[in-house]
Structure 1
Amino acid sequence: MHKRLQEEKVRLGVCYYPEHWSEEMWENDFKRMKDLGFTYVRMGEFAWTVFEPEEGKFTFELFDKAIDLAWKIGLKIILGTPTATPPAWLTTKYPDVLNVSQDGLTIQHGERRHYNYNSKNYKRLSSIIVTELAKHYKNHPSIVGWQIDNEFNCEINVFYSEADHTEFRNWVINKYETLDKLNEAWGTVFWNQTYTNWNQIYLTRKTNQNSPNPHHALDEKRFISDSVIAFAKLQADILRQHTSNQWISTNGMFGHLDNHRLTEEVLDFFAYDSYPNFGRIIEDNTEKPLRDRKWSWNLSEVRSISPNFAIFEQQAGPGGWVTRMEQPSPKPGQIRLWTFQSIAHGADMVLYFRWRTATKGTEIYWHGINDYHNQPNRRIKEVEQVSKEIKQLENKIAGSFYQAEAAIVLDYNNQWDGELDNWYGPYATKSKEAWFKAFQYNHVPVDAFNLTSESTIEEIKQYKVLIYPHPAIVTKETATLLETYVHQGGKIVFGCRTGYKDKTGQAYMLPFPGYLANLTGITIDDFTRISPFEPIPVVNIRNGKTFVADDFNEVLQVNNRDVEVIGTFDNSYYQGKAALVKRNTGAGTSYYFGGVFDIQLASFLLLNELKMNNHNHLFEIPENIELAIRKKEEKNYYFLLNYSDNDQEIFLKQKMNNLLKGTIERNKVVMRAFDILVLEEMTI
């Protein structure tokens, strides 16, 4: 069961660090926050030394004053546990808490996230500071919730301290029980890697070609995820021992962490830190780059963790550390656009980062709402506009759910295995992005869906269409589940390099696509990677359309009469052979493409085969506009987001209420640069 944030209204807030500013500034800051319509203030996540200046000596005076003052002015507090930045006294006295690189270099004190999760000293000292905070603030009326740590696995997501090696050894003993089982799972007979004593087991270490045993490396990522979850649970358990009326969350979504398990087992809901301008500076040479619109995919992944979630850091200014002033300032309208982008995808709480740009430290270029000078600016005016508009939505949006009839399927095993496996890891990323672009530019809302061994038919049958481009690891149980889904009416799309590995990452001694051969009705007759100097093969579709088939090709062998060949290869030695097929099974359909998807092929399949253009009766929308839908009590709310710096024309095919203007919209509506619309269906 997904956990979710429960708010009666969409709420705004801001991140604030009272320890960075003189006490004389606090009251004015808090009053201006209140005047802006903010409800929440997030603080404390980097203040361990303020709370515990010496080991065992605790002081809460600074934060008591700040929190009491915020409460007096009418603000609520989200308090962070400060374990993301262990103090200098701690790392000096207990150097075993520091993280270590794979080649043995200790990560020294001086930035943040320089600790490891498995140091006994760090777990003990973290437990103490969290306990003291919980005891002190458990009954404070202003504190509504806790943020555990900050951005787990940000900056670095691998850990090789002695404590990590030791705990990993215990982890594999618990998982495999015998060395024979471990050796079988890791395929250690290859290259004479067989282990004969548990003391020979370590996390992966530096090798000649930096290419470790892939099955060992896959388990390493599972272990890292388990370590994070255990560390978070350690803190959550303490907090819950002392309070039952304050919720628990954390922020992030970084690598080598099963955020779904983390949320299910530890948190009350999940929170994300949204910085869409990263999407505008990431070099994207692909067709129709998404830029800041790419963050809608990130938010879709967050929504798969918590259908309703919080944004603990919403970008409010140009970003950059002192080592990299990299992001441009949000253009007029973009802060508003990005706020509603988060809300459209399921956020019921949005906190801006940060109240005022820091004048010291690594993040002196990571700008907040206020500049150094603390005088009025256009960003403040824009946030003020957003706050007024949020109030106009009243309680209509909060608690509503994003609506999608299709999902792009993700799973951690394939994601982690694909990091090392360049046969399919990059293909999976490329195809996922191509499909998301196809959904976005054709205005078809789409979810991310996390597929696990515990997933049920009830969970996946909520979607008419599943896109699962290149899952190399597919167990027999997963294949059976997907067969049931298709038999009951679902449509599913696969791409090349599907289904040939088991859960350890070892290849089946079965024809590709392994246990999915029965569902798809095909096996792989031949395959090849396309070299840069070769002519690029193309796929001829039966209606005369052609699509490129670069990167990787599989020649499909049709094994069942009911398999329909939609496309064949051309411009290659396997000319005329099957490239794209469909098979009707029961009430549903499976598709298999022996290649890597691009936006053209994905769009063709989306509109012509999957028939996912079900909002054309409501709108005519240009590509630069995103359509998102949230639903509550059988009523749909349509979010239209303009990512262009030019005016865009929308054509409505029925009258709708404009919730932000209190007007009725009909026919043509002009959206200005970076503008947004929130439309409500009218009762007929």
Structure 2
Amino acid sequence: MHCLIRCKKLALCLLTALAINSSFAQSADKFFPKKDLMTIGSYYYPEQWPHAYWERDLKKMGELGFDFTHFGEFAWAFIEPEEGKFDFSWLDEAVALAHKNGIKVILCTSSPTPPVWLAQKHPEILMVNENGTTMQHGSRQQISWSSPVYRQYVSKMVEALAKHYANDNRIWGWQLDNEPSHYGQYDYSEAAQKSFRNWLKNKYQNIDSLNATWGTAFWSLRYSTFDQVRIPNAKELIAQPNPHAVLDFKRFSSDEVTEFLGMQYQILRKHIPANQWITTNLMPEHAPVEPTRMTNLDFVTYTKYLVAGYDKGIGPQGFRMGSPTSIAYANDLFRSVNGTTGVMELQPGQVNWGKFNPQPLAGTVRMWIWHAFAGGNKFVCNYRFKQPLTGGEQYHYGIIGTDGVSVSTSGVEYTQVIKELKSIKPQYDANAKMPAAYASRLTAVLYSPDSRWEEDNQPQTYQWDYMQHLMRYYGGLKQLNAPVDVITEDKDFSKYPVMVAPSYQLLDAKLVERWRRYAENGGHLILTSRTGQKDRNGKLWEMKWAEPIYNLIGAKISFYDLMPDSVKGTIQMNARIYNWNNWADIIEPNAGTQVWATYTNQFYAGKAAVINRKLGKGSVTFVGPDTDNGDLEKDVLRRVYQQAGIPIKELPAGVILDWRDGFWVGVNYGDRPYNVTVPTNGKVLIGDKVLKPAGVVVWKE
């Protein structure tokens, strides 16, 4: 009973925090005057350099034109060298030097790096990975967000920091932690086990409800008390874990870090002025932490590294530029959470931790910064100002090279963008309106973290990947020059002429009804593979396969097929043939539903693959297959726009054209030049109409 009461109190506190913070979230844009466009900063670590260098380094940062710097996220051992003894003298001096050189400061809480004395005194704060190994002092993010002891020490440290710098107008904003994620790992510590049980008690209230939802009659998994439940861990099970337990654990893990950061937010907000913002930086690729659930901060920002050997990009030199959708997707996802965002950590050049670490193509770093601007970011910060001489990132580029004074190649590109941004600020027009043709194709991508988590756990084929599936549609939208918001269900659908809901496996009748109203009122809805198969708890419907969407799409889904990678299924739409072998829903359309594409081989040749129906003033399209190259997905999007009378602009792979605050920005991740069409009344402000690979063009109409 005590645990249940405690859990209810925690939930109430979190809901209260969300309510309090909603006023900040709704007006997050207030922190950044639009006329400033986008400011640029760089990380600096005074504690990592001899004191004699500080003044020289921060003076150099100011001379290069950087607007702000970033202190303290890894500095707990210097802030609290002994338990309860806080030392801010060194940080005070660093803040003063930054201010002296015209540089604003983002101050950070140091929660990802507890000092060694804390880990030795309280080893229970350390996280445990899926193999049962306790993480140790010697790196970062080795702690458990669930540990009450750890939270107590974090609270004291953040309180001391907040009180010391309360009302200090040299501080621009605050960052909580740094990339809270455990870098893709989950916590199986005893503290996490207890907290998970409390989370389950709060959700289900009684163990019978949990048993019914999880289907624990299967394999005799039935529990008598919540204390018997363990975190589902495939490494300690002889067969696959209960999928409903896995889904709840992933939800819990995201909620746990959200609540942990919310605790820090509340402490800071008691002391700092209202005009100072509070955020954290996340990585969109890391599923354990879900940015769309972090509405209890003023806004969220992202970390982005594109060139580290994992992304081949486009063409023979694409590995030196990365994918055109990488920054684009992060822009459109993070901006949509609370209405504004920034890039807290952007790759500064060559790095050290990748699969292999190539040198970016000349101009690429500049292109990334401009791409961030095009996506609406309020600031870009690079990690880091000086290349480290010691520690775990010696081969990681900085703005300044290893001699401590020479500007690196990427540093030159940063200073170039700083000057270019300054040059266009006089051209800013507060009354600029998004061009009508561009605005007419505004599209929402409806993102479902629950479906992502559920499908990651039960992909059914090693080729299935929720995010790759989503990105096939997202990439097609960018090639059709559509402005995109990546949104979740809590947002309003009505302002979007087109909405794509990729692989929405978990849903309920309320969402299906919202979709129906959206289409009837003139929206054009596109649903895709695996949609509607299960309820919100991951349970298959006790009805025909995916039946809840039948009336909406005007068809039945007979079955789905999966094939080995050596076998190709074929599809025909109009006169074009497409290949697939990842996933295919086989469709039986109702009378009045149009068939846009059919399967042309396998035993169901002639069956519908893509269908479309008019519904009220709008339409609903269902796409059964998932392809490898995304050509079918792009062609379906094009056809939806054309049928709706929405003008499109075809762009080659790799070229992104975005509009922001009266400026058009073009970047090229492709391997060929692209001739940008600038109207006769337009004026090129930056770059050239011939957009070369890794090139940038900015113009105003």
Same fold (TM over 0.5): yes
Q: Structure 2, unaligned stretches of length 5 or more?
A: 1-24
CA deviations over 1:335-370 (Å, ceiling 9, x no partner): 110101111111111112110111111111111111
Aligned residue in 1 for 2:12:
none
The one-letter amino acid of 1:351's match is C
Q: CA deviation at 1:257?
A: 2.4
Q: CA deviation at 1:54?
A: 0.8
CA contact (8 A) 1:524 1:555 kept: yes
The one-letter amino acid of 2:256's match is S
The 3-state SS of whatever aligns with 2:224 is coil
**1:122-271 → structure 2 map (5 Å cutoff):** 122-205=150-233, 206-209=235-238, 211-245=240-274, 246-253=276-283, 254-262=286-294, 264-265=295-296, 267-271=297-301
Q: CA deviation at 1:398?
A: 10
The 3-state SS of whatever aligns with 2:161 is helix
Is 1:419 aligned to residue 451 of structure 2? no
The 3-state SS of whatever aligns with 1:291 is coil
Q: CA deviation at 1:316?
A: 1.2
Aligned length: 656
Aligned residue in 1 for 2:536:
503
Matching residue within 329, 351, 363 for 1:297 = 329
Q: CA deviation at 1:55?
A: 0.6
Matching residue within 551, 555, 570 for 2:586 = 555
Q: Output the CA distance in 2 between the equivalents of 1:528 and 1:468.
A: 21
CA contact (8 A) 1:316 1:330 kept: no
CA contact (8 A) 1:79 1:146 kept: yes
CA deviations over 1:221-274 (Å, ceiling 9, x no partner): 111111111111111111111122422111113322232231x22x11211112
Q: CA deviation at 1:120?
A: 1.0
Is 1:33 aligned to residue 61 of structure 2? yes
Aligned residue in 1 for 2:88:
60
Q: CA deviation at 1:24?
A: 1.4
For the structure 1 residues 656 and 258, does the alpha-carbon distance in structure 2 shift closer, same or farther, using more than 3 Å as the test?
same
Q: Output the CA distance in 1 between the equivalents of 2:410 and 2:529.
A: 47
Q: Structure 1, unaligned stretches of length 5 or more?
A: none
Moved more, 162-171 or 326-335: 326-335
Q: CA deviation at 1:395?
A: 6.6
CA contact (8 A) 1:315 1:352 kept: yes
Q: Output the CA distance in 2 between the equivalents of 1:595 and 1:496.
A: 6
The 3-state SS of whatever aligns with 2:298 is coil
Q: CA deviation at 1:372?
A: 0.8
The 3-state SS of whatever aligns with 1:641 is strand
Structure with greater proportional strand content: 1
For the structure 1 residues 139 and 7, does the alpha-carbon distance in structure 2 shift closer, same or farther, using more than 3 Å as the test?
same
For the structure 1 residues 129 and 532, does the alpha-carbon distance in structure 2 shift closer, same or farther, using more than 3 Å as the test?
closer
Aligned residue in 2 for 1:356:
386
The one-letter amino acid of 1:418's match is E
Is 1:435 aligned to residue 473 of structure 2? yes
Q: Output the CA distance in 2 between the equivalents of 1:166 and 1:158.
A: 15
**1:329-344 → structure 2 map (5 Å cutoff):** 329-344=359-374
For the structure 1 residues 418 and 2, does the alpha-carbon distance in structure 2 shift closer, same or farther, using more than 3 Å as the test?
farther
For the structure 1 residues 406 and 104, does the alpha-carbon distance in structure 2 shift closer, same or farther, using more than 3 Å as the test?
same
Q: CA deviation at 1:441?
A: 2.9
Aligned residue in 1 for 2:16:
none
Q: Output the CA distance in 2 between the equivalents of 1:562 and 1:392.
A: 57
The 3-state SS of whatever aligns with 2:157 is helix
For the structure 1 residues 673 and 162, does the alpha-carbon distance in structure 2 shift closer, same or farther, using more than 3 Å as the test?
same
Q: Output the CA distance in 1 between the equivalents of 2:460 and 2:641.
A: 28
Aligned residue in 1 for 2:446:
409
CA contact (8 A) 1:348 1:398 kept: no
CA contact (8 A) 1:11 1:350 kept: yes
Q: TM-score, normalised by structure 1?
A: 0.91
Q: CA deviation at 1:284?
A: 7.1
Matching residue within 141, 144, 147 for 1:113 = 141
The 3-state SS of whatever aligns with 1:568 is strand
Moved more, 286-295 or 176-185: 286-295
Q: Output the CA distance in 2 between the equivalents of 1:183 and 1:377.
A: 59
For the structure 1 residues 195 and 3, does the alpha-carbon distance in structure 2 shift closer, same or farther, using more than 3 Å as the test?
farther
The 3-state SS of whatever aligns with 1:354 is coil
Q: CA deviation at 1:487?
A: 0.8
Aligned residue in 1 for 2:549:
516
CA deviations over 1:32-71 (Å, ceiling 9, x no partner): 2112221111010000010101111111111111111111
Q: CA deviation at 1:276?
A: 2.3
Moved more, 392-401 or 30-39: 392-401
Q: Output the CA distance in 2 between the equivalents of 1:58 and 1:601.
A: 60
CA contact (8 A) 1:537 1:572 kept: yes
Aligned residue in 1 for 2:3:
none
The one-letter amino acid of 2:114's match is P
Q: Output the CA distance in 2 between the equivalents of 1:276 and 1:533.
A: 30
**1:351-390 → structure 2 map (5 Å cutoff):** 351-374=381-404, 375-390=406-421
CA deviations over 1:421-441 (Å, ceiling 9, x no partner): 113892533322222222233
CA contact (8 A) 1:356 1:370 kept: yes
The one-letter amino acid of 1:344's match is A
For the structure 1 residues 420 and 530, does the alpha-carbon distance in structure 2 shift closer, same or farther, using more than 3 Å as the test?
same
The 3-state SS of whatever aligns with 2:254 is helix
CA contact (8 A) 1:78 1:146 kept: yes
Is 1:674 aligned to residue 694 of structure 2? yes
**1:465-614 → structure 2 map (5 Å cutoff):** 465-532=498-565, 534=567, 536-541=568-573, 543-559=574-590, 561-597=591-627, 598-611=629-642
Q: CA deviation at 1:141?
A: 2.5
Q: CA deviation at 1:105?
A: 1.6
CA contact (8 A) 1:414 1:471 kept: yes
CA contact (8 A) 1:310 1:347 kept: yes
Over 4 Å off, 4+ runs: 283-290, 395-404, 612-616, 619-622
For the structure 1 residues 653 and 513, does the alpha-carbon distance in structure 2 shift closer, same or farther, using more than 3 Å as the test?
farther
Matching residue within 461, 469, 472 for 2:494 = 461
Q: CA deviation at 1:510?
A: 2.0
The 3-state SS of whatever aligns with 2:656 is strand
Q: TM-score, normalised by structure 2?
A: 0.88
Q: CA deviation at 1:130?
A: 0.4
CA deviations over 1:152-193 (Å, ceiling 9, x no partner): 114144111111111111111111011110001111111100
The 3-state SS of whatever aligns with 2:270 is helix
Q: CA deviation at 1:210?
A: 5.4
The one-letter amino acid of 1:674's match is A
Q: CA deviation at 1:620?
A: 7.6
CA contact (8 A) 2:314 2:670 kept: no
Aligned residue in 2 for 1:394:
425
CA contact (8 A) 1:621 1:650 kept: no
The one-letter amino acid of 1:394's match is K
CA contact (8 A) 1:85 1:112 kept: yes
Matching residue within 21, 28, 32 for 1:7 = 32
Q: Output the CA distance in 1 between the equivalents of 2:693 and 2:578.
A: 34
Is 1:345 aligned to residue 375 of structure 2? yes
For the structure 1 residues 414 and 565, does the alpha-carbon distance in structure 2 shift closer, same or farther, using more than 3 Å as the test?
same
Q: CA deviation at 1:129?
A: 0.5
CA contact (8 A) 1:319 1:325 kept: no
Q: Output the CA distance in 1 between the equivalents of 2:133 and 2:459.
A: 27
CA deviations over 1:192-212 (Å, ceiling 9, x no partner): 001012220121133444521
For the structure 1 residues 103 and 672, does the alpha-carbon distance in structure 2 shift closer, same or farther, using more than 3 Å as the test?
closer
